[in-house]
A and B are shown apart, each in its own frame.
Chain A
Amino acid sequence: MSPQLAGQIELLGQVLISGILLGGLYALIGLGMSLIMGVMKIINLAHGELMMVAMYMTYWAFTLWHVDPYVSLLIVCPLMFLLGVAIQKFLITPVMEAESILPQNQVLLTVGIGLVLANLALLLFTANYRSVPVSYASKTIYWDLKLGGQTISLSISYPFLTAFGIAVLLGAALFLFLGMTDLGRMIRATAQDKRAAALMGINTRKITYITFGIGAALVGAAGALLDPVYYLYPQIGGPFTNKAFVITILGGLGNIPGAVLGGLVLGLAESLGSVYVSLGYKDAFGFIIFVLVLIFLPRGLLGKGRAQ
């Protein structure tokens, strides 16, 4: 094999690794939004801002008490769960139950919640960029492969790999929770048909609180995992809300395995696109796929048809 070909294989391998690892994090962000979408039938446009809140929690836990970001998941996730429950209980539910001219009021409400969170963070923490300087931030595992007489050396970022592993675990846990437990079944029943679920004796209002809480906890986990590899500032939420939205649509609204697939597709599309097409259009690739999916597969990649 020629060195040029080996170089190309190395490049492709590296791009795929980066794309999949990033996709894992994206999937975690998308999962929460998809779950909320499935049960409440609203797009939570404060999703990225919730992640921002979790990122600041992780940052402060690290800065003030030297809590490792991965350990702080144990604190951040429950806190985010409570925040999610509070938002659903005191803000969204009252608006959902009010008779209004605009059926999209709840979506507008989430936009407002996002703005308040971002500006509150600006007020409290200033616009400074911050990062969590963990010792392993640029720790890397080198993986040398022998292929046809050439050495292909791939590098795998340790914090990205850890984030991916935790994301997979959380995704699997969510899947088992929804499939195996009574509470999970209640959530799915509420997502399928809220009125029927209520008739079966499910306290659907409580289910919505719990669902929003879980969604917030999941995106909170993503925020904590992102901290060691990225940076944070109050306005960081917006772009991630967009990504979560794209992932949710890609996978099919409210479809849990779909959200995982959507996250991986988006991660890979961004990586491959930035190398083989143009870096400047990196963010466009997600949206191009988004538009194509809307046109040709309006129910998403894994969306199942449902009689209206």
Chain B
Amino acid sequence: MTTRKLFALLALAAAIGLFVPALPAPAEAKAFTVGIPLPLTGAEAKFGEMEKQAYDMAVDEINAKGGVNGVKLALDIQDSGGKPETATAIVEKFITINKYPIVVGEYTSQCSYAVAGVCEKYNVPYLVVTGAADKITQQGWKNVFRLNPPASLYNLGVFSFFEQVARPKTIAILYENTDFGNSTSKAMKDYCDSHGVYVVLSEGYQAGAVDFKPILQKVKSLRPDIVYMVSYLMDASLLMRQSKELDINPQAFIGGGAGHTLPEFLQNAAEASEYCMSATLWTPQVKYPGAKEFFDNFKKKFNKEADYHGAEAYAAAYVLADTLKRSKAATSDDLRASLAGTDMMTAFGPVKFVSWGQFTNQNKMDTLVLQVVGKKYETVWPSTAASAKFVYPVPRWRERK
């Protein structure tokens, strides 16, 4: 063997070594393991990472207090890359090989929906934590429970803001072509149609566009009172930056959650994010017990700010602990029955699974409106939960300092 070949072999061996994960450590004697698929790579990795940290934090807290009925909680978090087919494969493995009796998590609606289908097939309870498309809890699936409100209810806070303060006459809607974007923007469109707000434009877009200026120029020429956007992180920043460049001046820019609520949005959009509003499910200023502690501890531990995604994951771990505590045995059937009986308060808000209309096993809660004021997120609506007074209508770009 020549030296060159030897080197090649060594390099190959090193490369394989890099990509083969370390063997899992043998599980502790008394641990209850839960399988969680999450996007830890790919475009949604930012959200997946925050949720993983929140799950870990909650489980550490629970275990530090002696676990659940003397049993420690353990998490098996696996990377789905935000791809439904990968998430499906992971959950199939969780159920058939690992024999986990319950599945929690995922981030995007597409992935959550795919995972829900698998869990229903194997009759294993599944707690949806973030996926918000309405259809996930509209299939009559008895194994699927959802902690977060469905996308069509994300806007409730915005609607009441419209009715009591803004009273807009026209609106332009831009949304990312995803399950979440479609559900949220459709709810907004339906509301506007039935409440006499004229929708001047409603356009879906594919993520990853470099330049939104052509469509934004069209928005500008239509002069809507409100520009409503449903976007993930970077598109949200680009939309705001380019709106500023084009000097588009509606009464308010309002986001439909997701990207517009992330701390990174403030950094990336910088001064263009000022006064931008967004629907949100949770802010650190909510008055639920444990919310502020969660936010402070999270910041201390990971040196970054948690948004509602982190709060959802954190609450999900507590819901799981509560379910396990009340469950007769750690089997899928008992856990399902116990999950259905959940009625508790979490840092994210009250959790109780109810069925109404087409929805089954769906948690229902009030949603809020936040606004960027002085480079910080402030809760501005409803006024009972507000941490700052809203700014409406927002100043024109050229009149700002």
Report A's interface with B, CB cutoff 8 A: 7-8, 10-11, 14-15, 18-19, 22, 25, 122-123, 126-129, 131, 133, 137-138, 140, 142, 153, 155, 157, 160, 226, 229-231, 233, 235, 239, 270-272, 274-275, 278-280, 282-283
Contacts A10-B221, A133-B268, A282-B206 given; indicate if A127 touches B41 (C-beta within 8 A).
yes
Q: Are A275 and B215 neighbours in the complex by a CB distance under 8 Å?
A: yes
Q: Are B213 and A279 neighbours in the complex by a CB distance under 8 Å?
A: no
- Inter-chain contacts of B234 with A (CB < 8 A): 129, 131, 231
The stretch from B42-50, B305-313, B375-383 touching chain A is B42-50
Q: Are B237 and A280 neighbours in the complex by a CB distance under 8 Å?
A: no
Contacts A7-B221, A11-B218, A235-B43 given; indicate if A226 touches B210 (C-beta within 8 A).
yes
Assembled-state Cα–Cα distance A127/B267 (Å): 17
Which of A22, A140, A231 contacts B237 (CB under 8 A)?
A: A231
Q: Output the least CB separation between B267 and chain A (Å).
A: 7
Contacts A127-B41, A279-B205 given; indicate if A22 touches B46 (C-beta within 8 A).
no
Nearest to B262 among chain A residues (CB) is A129
Contacts A280-B203, A280-B205 given; indicate if A22 touches B210 (C-beta within 8 A).
yes
Assembled-state Cα–Cα distance A19/B234 (Å): 21
Q: Output the least CB separation between B128 and chain A (Å).
A: 23
* Total number of residue pairs linking A and B with CB closer than 8 Å: 107
Assembled-state Cα–Cα distance A89/B73 (Å): 53
User: Interface digits, B274-296 against A, CB 8 Å rule (1 contact, 0 not)?
Assistant: 00000000000000000000000
Contacts A10-B221, A280-B203 given; indicate if A138 touches B272 (C-beta within 8 A).
yes
Assembled-state Cα–Cα distance A7/B219 (Å): 11
Assembled-state Cα–Cα distance A149/B180 (Å): 45
- Inter-chain contacts of B186 with A (CB < 8 A): none
- Inter-chain contacts of B45 with A (CB < 8 A): 126-128
Contacts A15-B217, A127-B40, A233-B43 given; indicate if A283 touches B206 (C-beta within 8 A).
yes
Assembled-state Cα–Cα distance A142/B398 (Å): 11
User: Interface digits, B209-248 against A, CB 8 Å rule (1 contact, 0 not)?
Assistant: 1110111011001000000000001100110011011110
Contacts A133-B270, A226-B210 given; indicate if A155 touches B247 (C-beta within 8 A).
yes
- Inter-chain contacts of A226 with B (CB < 8 A): 210
Q: Output the least CB separation between B207 and chain A (Å).
A: 10
- Inter-chain contacts of A239 with B (CB < 8 A): 208
Q: Are B247 and A274 neighbours in the complex by a CB distance under 8 Å?
A: no
Assembled-state Cα–Cα distance A127/B41 (Å): 6
Assembled-state Cα–Cα distance A146/B203 (Å): 31
Q: Are A14 and B213 neighbours in the complex by a CB distance under 8 Å?
A: yes
Q: Are A275 and B268 neighbours in the complex by a CB distance under 8 Å?
A: no
Q: Which residue among A122, A142, A270, A279 has the maximum number of chain B CB atoms within 10 Å of its CB?
A: A279
Task: Supply 21 A–B pairs (Cβ within 8 Å), ascending by A.
Answer: A10-B217, A15-B214, A18-B211, A22-B211, A25-B210, A123-B18, A128-B45, A129-B268, A131-B234, A133-B270, A138-B242, A138-B271, A153-B247, A155-B245, A155-B247, A229-B210, A272-B214, A275-B217, A278-B203, A282-B209, A283-B206
Nearest to A123 among chain B residues (CB) is B18
Nearest to B244 among chain A residues (CB) is A138
Assembled-state Cα–Cα distance A280/B46 (Å): 24
Contacts A133-B270, A230-B210 given; indicate if A280 touches B215 (C-beta within 8 A).
no
Instruction: Report if B393 contacts A (CB, 8 A).
Output: no
Assembled-state Cα–Cα distance A275/B212 (Å): 10
Nearest to B272 among chain A residues (CB) is A138
Nearest to B233 among chain A residues (CB) is A129
Assembled-state Cα–Cα distance A107/B209 (Å): 27
Q: Are A137 and B241 neighbours in the complex by a CB distance under 8 Å?
A: yes
Nearest to B398 among chain A residues (CB) is A142
- Inter-chain contacts of B46 with A (CB < 8 A): 127-129
- Inter-chain contacts of B244 with A (CB < 8 A): 138
Nearest to B267 among chain A residues (CB) is A133
Q: Are A157 and B42 neighbours in the complex by a CB distance under 8 Å?
A: no
Q: Output the least CB separation between B1 and chain A (Å).
A: 18
Nearest to B213 among chain A residues (CB) is A18
Q: Output the least CB separation between A270 and chain B (Å).
A: 8
Instruction: Report if B92 contacts A (CB, 8 A).
Output: no
Assembled-state Cα–Cα distance A44/B237 (Å): 31
**Seed contacts A22-B211, A138-B241, A155-B247; 18 additional CB < 8 Å A-B pairs:** A10-B217, A18-B211, A18-B213, A127-B42, A127-B49, A128-B45, A129-B46, A133-B267, A133-B270, A157-B245, A229-B211, A230-B210, A231-B238, A231-B268, A270-B211, A274-B209, A274-B215, A279-B204
- Inter-chain contacts of A280 with B (CB < 8 A): 177, 203-206
Q: Are B245 and A274 neighbours in the complex by a CB distance under 8 Å?
A: no
- Inter-chain contacts of B241 with A (CB < 8 A): 137-138
Nearest to A158 among chain B residues (CB) is B245
Q: Output the least CB separation between A247 and chain B (Å).
A: 14
Q: Which residue among A7, A10, A138 has the maximum number of chain B CB atoms within 10 Å of its CB?
A: A138
Assembled-state Cα–Cα distance A15/B214 (Å): 5
- Inter-chain contacts of B208 with A (CB < 8 A): 239
Q: Which B133-189 residues sit within 8 Å CB-CB of chain A?
A: 174, 177
Which of B40, B214, B242, B246 contacts A275 (CB under 8 A)?
A: B214
Q: Are A19 and B272 neighbours in the complex by a CB distance under 8 Å?
A: no
- Inter-chain contacts of B242 with A (CB < 8 A): 138, 157
Instruction: Report if B322 contacts A (CB, 8 A).
Output: no
- Inter-chain contacts of B334 with A (CB < 8 A): none
- Inter-chain contacts of A19 with B (CB < 8 A): 214
- Inter-chain contacts of B333 with A (CB < 8 A): none
- Inter-chain contacts of A140 with B (CB < 8 A): 245-247
Q: Output the least CB separation between A163 and chain B (Å).
A: 11
- Inter-chain contacts of A131 with B (CB < 8 A): 234, 237, 267-268
- Inter-chain contacts of A123 with B (CB < 8 A): 18
Nearest to B15 among chain A residues (CB) is A116
Q: Output the least CB separation between A138 and chain B (Å).
A: 5
